[in-house]
Amino acid sequence: MPIISAPHQYHEEDLYVDLADIVGTTLYLKCEGLNFAGSIKLKTARSLVEAAEDCGVLGPGGVIVESSSGNLGVALSIIAASKGYGFLCVTDPRCNDTARQLMGALGAEVHTVREPAADGGYLGARLRYVEELCALDSRYVWLNQYANPANADAHYRWTAPAIANRFADLDVLFVGAGTTGTLMGCARYFKEHRPDVTMVAVDSVGSVTFGGPALPRMIPGLGTGVRPPLLDVSWVDDVVHVDEADTVRACHRLAGCGFLFGGSTGTVISGAARWLAQNAGRPDRVAVAIAPDLGERYLDSVYRPDWVEKTYGPDVLTTKLEEEPLIPMSLV
């Protein structure tokens, strides 16, 4: 049993769920939400803050500012509180109320951008606000998760080696694409150490990250309205785009089996199930997907039937989720 003195010192690194009965093929889900922040973003936050401290831009009395749709904001709130920094999270209406309340309880200030930018949606508007704020007040230190190499370094140092150590025979890894920090860190590690592993990025329909058209998205986490500077497509072998309706179906299918995961995880699992169904491999093929978060913060959206029906229509949850393997509706 570990004994810790700071919240970022604990992260369960070696828990996997065997999803074979749920998705209809072998798939191991790496659960990254078992820490005090409830998501993989605790690693990112730790790496960003430590890098800023190491180079001297963040010190006593500093105020961190960051754009986040929720999970990184919660993680930074935890670290800022434990280290004595101020923290301002710039978010938008898609950030769920639970994440806002968590940040506030931890002492963070939350600013919500209400109008999307014409050339970058809500993310573009958030970034513009952060830039203007930093130009006006030198106390603010912008960690910039979208362009900061420390984001990807966290997953090059911690996430990818943990997977490699657990699965010596790994064939394919599925990683959700938001800022692309997790994706780039894992991709760089495996391209350098295990180049035979197929790297598959999972993105949301409506995201511009891999060149698709910008469309409205209601579930925070994966997808972007501005292409992340961290992204290097040469490290990615394939990309799957998931409609948000399939994200919701995946989350409810998992909940029906007792696993309450977040929207980002539902997207990753739905994309992985589709890719595995479309790309026949060896019967003993080893596939792993990364689950970035847990589901409590989505109780007022993804897991609320009236919200789902209002947002995606009355037929999204009409399939017998408890009886059928999780294959996206586009393949049914």
**Average pLDDT, stretch 169-176?**
97
**Average pLDDT, stretch 90-118?**
91
332 or 249, higher pLDDT: 249
**Average pLDDT, stretch 50-61?**
95
212 Cβ neighbours under 8 A, 6+ residues apart: 203, 205, 206, 241
Tell me whether the CATH fold assigned to 7-31+156-331 matches the one assigned to 41-142.
yes
User: pLDDT class for 34, splitting at 50, 70, 90?
Assistant: very high
Q: What's the confidence (pLDDT) of residue 332?
A: 33
Q: What's the confidence (pLDDT) of residue 1?
A: 66
User: pLDDT class for 326, splitting at 50, 70, 90?
Assistant: low
**Average pLDDT, stretch 298-303?**
94
User: pLDDT class for 324, splitting at 50, 70, 90?
Assistant: very low
Task: For residue 37, give both structure tokens.
Answer: 């922040």
Q: Give rounded-to-5 percent helix, strand, coil for the chain.
A: 40, 15, 45
Q: CATH number for 41-142: choose from 3.30.9.80, 3.40.50.1100, 3.40.50.10300, 3.40.50.1400.
A: 3.40.50.1100
**Tens of pLDDT, residues 181-206:** 999 999 999 999 999 999 999 999 99
The C-alpha atoms of residue 41 and residue 50 are separated, in whole angstroms, by 14
Q: Scan for tokens 């929207």, then name that residue.
A: 263
CA dihedral defined by 48, 51, 55, 60, rounded to 10 degrees? 60
Residue percentage of the chain with pLDDT more than 90 = 79
Q: Is the pLDDT of residue 321 over 60?
A: no
SS3 234: helix
User: Would you identify the CATH topology of the domain 7-31+156-331?
Assistant: Rossmann fold (3.40.50)
Task: For residue 192, give both structure tokens.
Answer: 């350098």
Q: Within 13 A of 187's CA, how many CA atoms are on the CB side? A: 24
For the whole model, what pTM was predicted?
0.92
Q: Is the pLDDT of residue 329 over 50?
A: no
117 or 141, higher pLDDT: 141
Q: Where are the domains of the chain?
A: 7-31+156-331, 41-142
Q: Is the pLDDT of residue 330 over 50?
A: no
Q: What's the confidence (pLDDT) of residue 282?
A: 76
**Average pLDDT, stretch 114-129?**
87
Q: What's the confidence (pLDDT) of residue 323?
A: 43
Q: What's the confidence (pLDDT) of residue 280?
A: 79
**Average pLDDT, stretch 224-238?**
92
Q: What's the confidence (pLDDT) of residue 331?
A: 41
One DSSP character per residue, 146-199 reads TT-HHHHHHIIIIIHHHHHHH-TT--EEEEE-SSSHHHHHHHHHHHHH-TTSEE
Strand order in the sheet with 63-67: 109-112, 86-91, 63-67, 140-142
**Average pLDDT, stretch 299-328?**
77
User: pLDDT class for 235, splitting at 50, 70, 90?
Assistant: very high
Q: Is the pLDDT of residue 158 over 70?
A: yes
**Tens of pLDDT, residues 14-32:** 999 999 999 888 999 999 9
Amino acid sitting at position 26 = T
**Average pLDDT, stretch 280-309?**
92
The C-alpha atoms of residue 215 and residue 200 are separated, in whole angstroms, by 22
Average pLDDT, the chain: 92
Q: Is the pLDDT of residue 246 over 90?
A: yes
The C-alpha atoms of residue 14 and residue 23 are separated, in whole angstroms, by 21
